[in-house]
Copies of this chain bind each other. A is one copy, B any other.
């Protein structure tokens, strides 16, 4: 059986992909500015090499020559993932791949300018082009009668179908809108104010990261413009940023990235595709779980408040209750990335329904701004003042990323499912969170999610971990309970 040859090929390709990830991290965190032109050449050359390896005709032969009935679940998944990336690499013609890469890079530039000028019209041609190219790519990948949007979604959420996802996500809208409306009439809690030196923020962020299980022997933290997590196995790096007027940005973005990092550090193998993360939705569930269910809980404030008092001499809040309220302030706003837990998924639902229609053809690019503004007002009750606060706020579509947005909400849904199941399995969890002694929480996540890799589909993995098929109910209950109590509803 040609399995060893195939696995060796996959392993080397994965090692090269890790290098691609590393030079991308370096570009954001370390590279001097005059290095940009060479870095683009380097990344391009490496991407060509990786593409050629993914499209290597021997993969087709190896996969064909393997008797899958003889394989473990893990190796069957390795073979299927090899086939999946081989199909992606071979079904999309080089001309289309190159044009898409160029359209993505040019699209981002044009989008940035349009956003700065607050003029959607300037972005329309680039958006049209991205949609056309993505539809073409989806058509190359589509099996008989497959939905084009699903072919794009599949890249981020393997095997997911929007026919399942749409009702799941839509079921969030009524309760979230109701909750938003109830909160809108209530008094807002006192926000955190004071002066928070950057060094102290970073020191506290590192302390929290280590405390919740981030292994600094297998990672590092640096400062960048837009925080992210990169790498896997023994080298998983996170990044953060600081604002001396607002330490919560640094602390919670660090916790979010640590959530991703714990998943990556816990992978059962750093190279094989069956050991890779299950899906973007599951990845996001890990970051959201630590950020929201754990670190924005009233219990965690019992540990975090004194830790912040120790780190910052100038801070207006007087206790854990006030901190809990401040880190959970609800405010209707225009920007997704600044949204609270009540509003966040409404931002995603808006994008998900719009991008489905864009790919299906029911909505034309030039009509997107109007559609956005109408539906935004429907869900949020306020009118979008300009495109930079509306349809132009996110980079995704300018890069050709369609099918990515719903994974954010899937992450929130899965995080709440996992949270509910874990509470049953770990009766002492409240005390663990209150004292920030969270090792058993991490151990549970390692066993249920991290070491399972990509052997199962995301819904199957969540069902295995929780004993129930994933639904939006746990997320809705969690939000209603938390914000109901906070806002006295």
**Residue of A26, A32, A217 most packed against chain B (CB within 10 A):** A32
Instruction: Output the nearest chain B residue to A13 by Cβ-Cβ distance.
Output: B45
Q: Among B11, B34, B215, B231, point to the contact of A41 (Cβ < 8 A).
A: B11
A300–B18 alpha-carbon span in the complex (Å): 46
| A35 in complex: contacting residue of B35, B44, B234, CB < 8 Å | B234
Q: Is A211 an interface residue (CB 8 A)?
A: no
Q: How far apart are the CA atoms of A269 and B94 in the complex, in Å?
A: 28
CB distance from A10 to the nearest CB of B (A): 11
Q: How large is the interface on A (under 10, 10 to 19, 20 to 34, 35 or more residues)?
A: 35 or more
Task: Fill in one digit per residue for A195-219: 1 if any B CB lies within 8 Å of its CB, else 0.
Answer: 0000000000000000000011111
Do the beta carbons of A33 and B220 come within 8 Å of each other?
no
Does any Cβ of B come within 8 Å of A48's Cβ?
yes
User: In whole angstroms, how far apart are the Cα atoms of A36 and B217 in the complex?
Assistant: 11
Measured CB to CB, the closest approach of chain B to A81, in angstroms, equals 18
A297 to chain B: closest CB distance in Å? 30
Q: How far is the CA of A37 from the CA of B218 in the complex (A)?
A: 11
A31 to B49, CA, bound (A): 24
Q: Which residues of B contact A22 (CB under 8 A)?
A: 22-23, 26, 42
A237 to B30, CA, bound (A): 10
A178 within 8 Å of B by Cβ?
Answer: no
Inter-chain CA distance A23–B15, complex, in Å, is 12
Bound: A37/B16 CA distance, A: 14
Q: How far is the CA of A33 from the CA of B234 in the complex (A)?
A: 8
Q: Does A177 contact B (CB under 8 A)?
A: no
**Would A31 and B235 be within 8 Å (CB), given that A12-B45, A16-B46 are in contact?**
yes
Distance in angstroms between the alpha carbons of A37 and B271 in the assembled complex: 12
The answer to the question of A184 belonging to the interface, with a C-beta cut-off of 8 Å to chain B, is: no
A216 to chain B, nearest CB (A): 7
Contact of A233 with B by CB under 8 A: yes
Chain A 37-65 interface residues, beta-carbon cutoff 8 Å to B: 37-39, 41-42, 44-46, 48-49
A270 proximal to B (CB < 8 A): yes
CB pair A235 B34 closer than 8 Å: yes
Chain B residues near A48 (CB, 8 Å)?
12
Please report A residues at the B interface, Cβ cutoff 8 Å.
11-13, 15-16, 18-19, 22-23, 26, 30-39, 41-42, 44-46, 48-49, 215-220, 231, 233-235, 237, 270-271
Can you show 17 pairs from A to B with CB atoms below 8 A apart?
A: A12-B45, A12-B48, A15-B45, A16-B45, A18-B38, A19-B46, A22-B23, A22-B42, A23-B23, A26-B26, A32-B216, A32-B218, A32-B235, A35-B231, A35-B235, A38-B233, A38-B234
